[in-house]
Amino acid sequence: MAATTPGSFQGPDAQGRVQLSGDWTLAHATRLERALAALSAREAGVQRIDAQALGKVDTAGASLLLQLAGGAGLEQFDALAPRHARLLAAVAQADAEPLPAPVREGVGDFIAGIGAAVLAIWRDALRLVSFLGLLLATLPRVLVSPQRWRVAPWVVQIHQTGLNAVPIIALLTFLVGAVVAFLGATILREFGATLYTVDLIAFSFLREFGVLLTAIMVAGRSGSAFTAQLGSMKSREEIDAIRTLGMDPVQVLVVPRALALLVSLPLLTVLAMLSGILGGAVVCALALDISPMMYFSRIHDTLEVRHFWVGMSKAPLFALMIALIGCLEGFKVAGSAESVGKHTTSSVVQSIFVVILIDALAAVFFMEMGW
């Protein structure tokens, strides 16, 4: 192994010039550090540093050379080899302190936070619209080519998002129907109009509660599952492997899930409507002395079928948005478990928000149309 020449420096002389020599490496760093501790570049009046005789330099030596140069950096060095200059520049950049973040207080901080939130919402909306366009562009290519149909994954997703959700949807809407019946009976009893509790239950579940409660439950159950599944695949680089095999991840992963929800959510909505109405019938029979025969006869005589179709018309739109948001958040996962959890939570929040927003807009639209 070749011997090394210990690094050293001479000066500064009367003109403030320092002469470097030898190897400024980690092996000699302790001795050089003690020598520099006795020499302050400013107090000694170092003006120029002659690096013509400088030997090997590593990162430890580069840090000591920058300490010798003080705050002037590379400007003080003469005859510095290009390789040494690049190393010193890299070490200087690595040692540089980051600029302090601007401090905002009071109203400025509040307004800046609002602006950042609005910008984030706008970007998420653009991504969602772009992803919707990508899905709509992929669907025709899949539907017109039977060899591209992925029937097995589609059936599996229908089973997971639809059939497995039947117990929780039925129980939830049955209980909500009972609660609505109790509340309606409490208020309407004061006016001697307990019979109109039947109208309240049927009207609310056919138009709003059936589809809305189902969509919220599906968003929390299936939407989060879509994000977790795709996020885990993203973190394990399985989506990159799908692309490497020449397949389209949207066609393989998104289309079966979106089509499954387009089938499952309307069917679950019908189940939710029936369960809610049945829950109201039980309460009316036990607390209001309204027999099941009278209950269902009242529904048949007073409610129009258009209320059912108003509620059902929102189910496919809710299903599409929940599938889109769940899959899009899954594709956003960065690769860590923390990122999977973050985007799963974001998927549920966004899905529920979008479902309620669309439901509110639809309610205003149907009211203005007289439907």
Domains and CATH numbers, the chain: 8-95 (3.30.750.24), 133-369 (no CATH)
- Helix 255-287 and helix 151-161, axial crossing angle in degrees, nearest 10: 30
Higher pLDDT, 8 or 174: 174
H-helix segments, 24-81: 29-37, 41-44, 59-69
Burial class (CB in 10 A: 0-12, 13-18, 19+), 181: buried
- Find, among 61, 71, 248, 262, the residue nearest to 154 by Cα: 262
The helix (H) or strand (E) run that includes residue 78 is: strand 77-78
pLDDT tens for 325-351 read: 998 888 888 877 788 888 888 889 999
What is the structure's pLDDT at 352? 93
Q: How many other CB atoms are there within 10 angstroms of residue 349's CB atom?
A: 14
Q: What is the pLDDT of residue 61?
A: 77
Amino acid at position 317, single letter: L
For residue 1, the model assigns a pLDDT of: 42
Residue type, 153: P
Residue 370 has pLDDT above 60, yes or no: yes
Contact 226, 285 (CB under 8 A): no
CA–CA dist 148, 247 (Å, integer): 10
pLDDT of residue 41: 45
d(CA 13, CA 360): 82
What average pLDDT score do residues 179-189 get?
A: 85
Beta-strand (E) ranges in the chain? 8-10, 17-24, 48-57, 77-78
3-state secondary structure of 102: coil
> Are the beta carbons of 279 and 329 closer than 8 angstroms?
no
Q: Are strands 17-24 and 8-10 parallel, antiparallel or unpaired?
A: antiparallel
Rg (CA), the chain: 35
pLDDT at 42: 47
pLDDT at 249 > cutoff 80: yes
CA distance 347 to 117: 17
The three-class DSSP label of residue 200 is helix
Q: Is it the case that residue 96 has pLDDT exceeding 70?
A: no
The angle formed by the CA atoms of residues 64, 65 and 67, to the nearest 5 degrees, is 65
Please state which of the ranges 26-40, 125-139, 231-245 shows the lowest mean pLDDT: 26-40
- pLDDT above 90 coverage of the chain, percent: 20
* % of residues, the chain, pLDDT over 70: 91
Fill in the amino acid letter for 4: T
Question: To 10 degrees, the CA torsion angle through 150, 151, 156, 160?
Answer: 90
What is the rounded average pLDDT of the residues 62-71? 74
Which H/E stretch holds residue 21?
strand 17-24
User: How many C-beta atoms lie closer than 10 Å to residue 194's C-beta?
Assistant: 19
* 302-328 per-position pLDDT tens digit: 888 888 999 899 999 999 999 999 988
Torsions phi, psi for 249 (to 5 deg): -60, -30
Residue 132 burial (CB count, 10 A): 14
Q: Which of 43-52, 59-68, 105-114, 164-173 has the highest mean pLDDT?
A: 164-173
Please state, in angstroms and rounded to a whole number, the distance separating the CA atoms of residues 50 and 80.
8
Secondary structure percentages of the chain, helix, strand, coil, to 5:
75, 5, 15
Q: With contact defined as beta carbons under 8 Å apart, do 95 and 66 qualify?
A: yes
More confident residue, 210 or 29: 210
Q: How far is 226 from 236, CA to CA, in rounded Å?
A: 16
Q: Which of 247, 18, 272 is nearest to 162 (CA)?
A: 272
Contacts of 161 (CB under 8 A, 6+ apart): 218, 221, 222, 225, 257, 260, 261, 264, 265
Whether the per-residue pLDDT at 101 is higher than 60: the answer is no
Q: For 121-137, what is the mean pLDDT?
A: 88
- What integer is the mean pLDDT of 209-213? 91
pLDDT tens sequence across 75-95: 677 777 888 788 878 877 776
